[in-house]
Amino acid sequence: MTVIPTAATPHPAPVITHAEEDHPAYLWRDGHILPWAEANVHASSLGWSTMAAVFEGIKAYANPHTGAQWGWQFAEHYQRFAQSMRLQRMRPEFTPLELADISRELLRANGHTGDTYIRPLAWLSDVTWFTDGESSRTSIVIITEPFSSHLRTGRTVKSCISTWIRVGDNQLSPRVKCISNYQNSRLALIEAKRNGFDQPILLNQAGKVTEGPASCLFLVRDGVMITPSLTSGVLESITRTALIRLCREELGLTVQERDVDRTELYVADEIFFCGTGAEMLPVSSIDHFQVGDGGVGPLTSRLEKVFHDVVRGIHPGYSNWRTPVSHA
Ligand code: PMP
């Protein structure tokens, strides 16, 4: 890459390249598996073109006993990806089924056989200035990277109620994963971290509990599992739906999807975040109120074991949630 000096940048800016081991060999873009370094985007298409960008966060988990790797809820994630694109009036050239197959192919091409994150992103690739973007082509890229699961490690987080209000369905719908929504999440996260917390919880315009910056939320009161309803201003979380089913079918618990008041969190027996990235993340305190004994609560712990075993295929049930990727 040649950098031409200008008045504003008299010295060429350093070219930062990732070390070989920092990235996988390949990614997939618009129909092709490409070597990492060749997947460039022109600078003029950045900015406005990503205003409507939507993404997914998907995982594949390995079974430590058999070595088999399972894609976790590929169909559900690519269905939501399609829903996110629909709300942005994007016209993808690939179906959810095709994108799920491509993800398996990419995992194999990159030789990822352990726990792996899969990140599809769709954006308006012809847009270089502010416009409705409806006539633009929709480009899609899929990136894979290994991750370390914190399931069943005992990790907990300190939480707080954010002063930032969650975006509403008539503003930037939190129902889908549009990049622009995450500015709202980011502001809340910055505030929480600067105030010494790990993860904020945002309220909606009506003052009811919604979710974390990138995760949904459950609380336990008197043995009942409670989570804010899907119309309270939360992402239609795939983990949330899976956990509701596991709570009912595996633990025999009552689950309520309803409005949740802020002070219910202060008197809850257990609270945990959930999501593809968050997996299950127990909350040790909220606004300095200790939750339970400050560790992983008993129902959270039981649910986490079931979830862990199901995603890794140790629990043989729920097989339609798992897609085989590689088998050792
Ligand atoms: N809410 C937000 C804002 C998120 O970004 C995520 C992560 N995708 C979640 C909730 C959890 O959703 P899922 O279980 O589908 O990953």
Give the pLDDT confidence of 111-157 residue by residue, as tens digits.
999 999 999 999 999 999 999 999 999 999 999 999 999 999 999 99
Q: The CATH number of the domain where 236 resides is what?
A: 3.20.10.10
Specify the DSSP element, H or E, that contains 308.
helix 298-311
Q: Measured from the CB, is residue 214 less than 6 Å from ligand 1?
A: yes
Ligand 1 atom closest to the CA of 76, numbered from 1 = 15
Q: Is 224 contained in some domain? A: yes
Pocket test for ligand 1, best of 80, 184, 235, 245 (most atoms within 8 A of CB): 235
> Contact, 310 vs 283, CB < 8 A?
no
Catalytic residue among 59, 158, 177, 208: 177
pLDDT at 2 over 90: no
Q: Residue 218: which of 244, 185, 249, 238 has the closest Cα?
A: 244
Cα 328 from Cα 314, distance rounded (Å): 15
Predicted pLDDT at 63: 97
Burial 256-281 (b: 16+ CB within 10 A, else e): eeebbeeeebeebbbbbbbbbebbbb
Per the structure block, which two tokens stand in for 157? 């987080």
From the CA of 216, give the closest atom in ligand 1: 10
Provide the domain limits for residue 85.
25-146
Q: Per residue in 227-256, pLDDT tens? A: 999 999 999 999 999 999 999 999 999 999
Residues 269 and 294 in one domain: yes
Domain final position from 91, 124, 146? 146
Per-residue model confidence (pLDDT) at position 46:
87
DSSP lists the bridge partners of residue 256 as 226
Residues 204, 183 within the same domain: yes
* Residue reference for tokens 């008539």: 170
Clarify whether residues 300 and 231 are in a common domain.
yes
pLDDT digits 0-9 by tens, 170-229: 999 999 999 999 999 999 999 999 999 999 999 999 999 999 999 999 999 999 999 999
Inter-CA distances, 157 with 32, 197, 206, 294, Å? 40, 8, 26, 10
Please tell me the total count of domains within the chain: 2
Q: Tell me how far the alpha carbon of residue 307 lies from the centroid of ligand 1, in angstroms.
A: 16
161 shares its domain with 222: yes
